[in-house]
Amino acid sequence: MKIAIIGGGAAGCFAAIETARLLPRADIHIYESLKRPLVKVGLTGGGRCNLTNSFRHVTSAEQVYPRGARLMKRLLKEFGPADTMAWFEREGVELVTQTDECVFPATQKASTIVDTLTRLLAALHVKLHCARRVKAIVATEAGYRLSMADGGDVEAQAVVVTTGGYPREASMSLFRPLALKTVPPVPSLFSFTLADDRLKALSGTVVEQVTARLTTTKFKATGALLITHMGLSGPAILKLSAYAARHLHDSGYRATLSINWWGEATEDDILATLRSHAAPRSARQTGTTTPSHLCRRLWHYLLDAAHIAPHRRWSELQPKELRRLAALLSNHQLSLTGRNPYKEEFVTCGGIALSEIVPSTLESRAHRHLYFAGEALDVDAVTGGFNLQAAWSMGYVVARSLSRALADANDNAANANEACPMD
């Protein structure tokens, strides 16, 4: 039985390895459009490959998977982060978990992960066809016909689609003959561009804990914030960009952003903190007594935004001025004017609609022996190793489903032969 895996990325290679282990006699082929497999994995984590996360601070799948949380909750039970770590360690890859719970190879090199997977593909006799792009997948009576961009067709009884994210809608054209429902692809994980030049002049400033929100929506995220020469970035902004990826795309990346510079404190909490900060310092200038979590330059910028001159003494401030400062610190509104990439990292929100697949097997509901794994599906995560974890989990589940389905198919064929010995 021939199994064709379309895409030699994280999910495709992992699915191939696991399938080859479960079905040692299967004829497994990977068709990859680039000249080498796992090119993107080699770029992950800034070349260090953040291959998973301990999930220690993850309280719900929704927190890290803005799309596909329900599916991921189920799949993580089958193959979760501890399984990923054990899997790579069994293959001789030493791992380190950073204080932020991101997991990397101890070599700090993504090539360690690429080399490990490539070595296993060869050892398990998976046939890798690079520089072979699949143009279309057509269902036939015997299974599937893959029409290749370089000409010629490939026949297979089972197909696993692991073509990754789709920066452009045109990249989804290979599914057209299958009439599958797709969700239009839009980017996720990006930094925000702002018009405020004075804020941008503070480029490089980090605030450990803010809450970033899009006004008039339910989208909000907490975490560290980084001021850049273009606007804002850092974990809180990247998370917000992922949660609100489609909303921001639809609004042309124009929105009003609200920053709470005091994390999750309310305006009243901040007012109380300002009062207790001011009381022992009443004779000092507001600009010289900076709250501990904000740097002096940012504090001056915020005082200015609240129309308070930094030479004014705390004792000179009217109650309504203190209230205005607390209001600004808890809800500082800034105009978002666009998006810009976060390093080179991006993921796609959108892909094959989850309604098209059986969640427990990742098999197509409409087409037997057609499976999907990885970013090809409408599943994506925030940064921190969660996207690659999704690729490993799905690759693992597809391999199990495939081996069960093909074993059943073989049993049925054997039974049919027994029933009709003359055939």
Q: In the complex with ligand FAD, which residue's Cβ is closer, 53 or 260?
A: 53
Three-state SS annotation for 244-295 = CHHHHHHCCCCEEEEEECCCCCCHHHHHHHHHHHHHHHCCCEHHHCCCCCCC
Closer by beta carbon to ligand FAD, 32 or else 378: 32
Residues 6+ apart with CB under 8 A from 95: 51, 85, 88, 89, 103, 104, 105, 106
Query: What is the smallest separation between the CB atom of 341 and ligand FAD, expressed in angstroms?
Result: 9
Q: What span, in angstroms and rounded, lies between the C-alpha atoms of 317 and 285?
A: 10
Is residue 303 within 8 A of residue 325, CB to CB? The reply is: yes
User: Which residue type, as a one-letter code, is found at position 352?
Assistant: I
If the CB atoms of residues 108 and 256 are measured against ligand FAD, the closer one turns out to be: 108
Which residue number, 386 or 396, has a Cβ lying nearer to ligand FAD? 386
Q: How far is the CB of 227 from ligand FAD (least distance, A)?
A: 23
Three-class DSSP category at 38: coil
Burial of 65 (0-12, 13-18, 19+ CB in 10 A): buried
Is residue 258 exposed (0-12), middle (13-18) or buried (19+ Cβ within 10 Å)?
middle
Q: How far is the CB of 132 from ligand FAD (least distance, A)?
A: 7
Shortest reach from residue 219's CB to ligand FAD, in Å: 21
Least distance (Å) between residue 315 CB and ligand FAD: 51
Task: State the nearest-atom distance from the C-beta of 100 to ligand FAD, in Å.
Answer: 12
C-beta of 270: minimal distance to ligand FAD in Å?
Answer: 35
C-alpha dihedral, 327 to 330 to 335 to 339, nearest 10°: 180
In the bound state with ligand FAD, the residue whose beta carbon lies nearer, of 68 and 270, is 68
Compare residues 50 and 211 and give the one whose CB is closer to ligand FAD.
50
Distance of closest approach, residue 171 Cβ to ligand FAD, in angstroms: 6
12 vs 223 by CB, closer to ligand FAD? 12
Q: Which residues pair with 357 in a beta bridge?
A: 364
- Taking the complex as a whole, the smallest distance from the CB of residue 211 to ligand FAD amounts, in Å, to 24
Would you call 147 helix, strand, or coil by DSSP? strand
Copy the structure tokens of residue 334. 């800034």
Retrieve residue 153's tokens. 């067709």
Nearer to ligand FAD, 22 or 148 (CB): 148
Strand runs labelled E in 276-385: 332-341, 347-352, 370-372
CB of 17 to ligand FAD, least distance (A): 13
To the nearest whole angstrom, how small is the minimum distance from the Cβ of residue 249 to ligand FAD? 18
The token pair at 87 is 């899997």
Residue with Cβ nearer ligand FAD (29 or 400): 29
Q: How buried is 202 (Cβ within 10 angstroms: 0-12 exposed, 13-18 middle, 19+ buried)?
A: middle
Distance of CA 133 to CAs 129, 150, 230, 261, 376, Å? Answer: 9, 7, 37, 48, 15
Cβ proximity to ligand FAD: between 391 and 406 the closer is 391
Q: Which residue is nearest to ligand FAD (CB)?
A: 9
Q: How far is 307 from 212, CA to CA, in rounded Å?
A: 22
Contacts with ligand FAD, residue ranges (CB under 6 A) = 6-12, 31-34, 39-41, 43-45, 49-50, 133-134, 162-164, 174, 344-347, 374-376, 385-388, 391
Q: Are the C-beta atoms of residues 186 and 349 closer than 8 Å to each other?
A: yes
Question: Measured from the CB atom, is 45 or 235 closer to ligand FAD?
Answer: 45
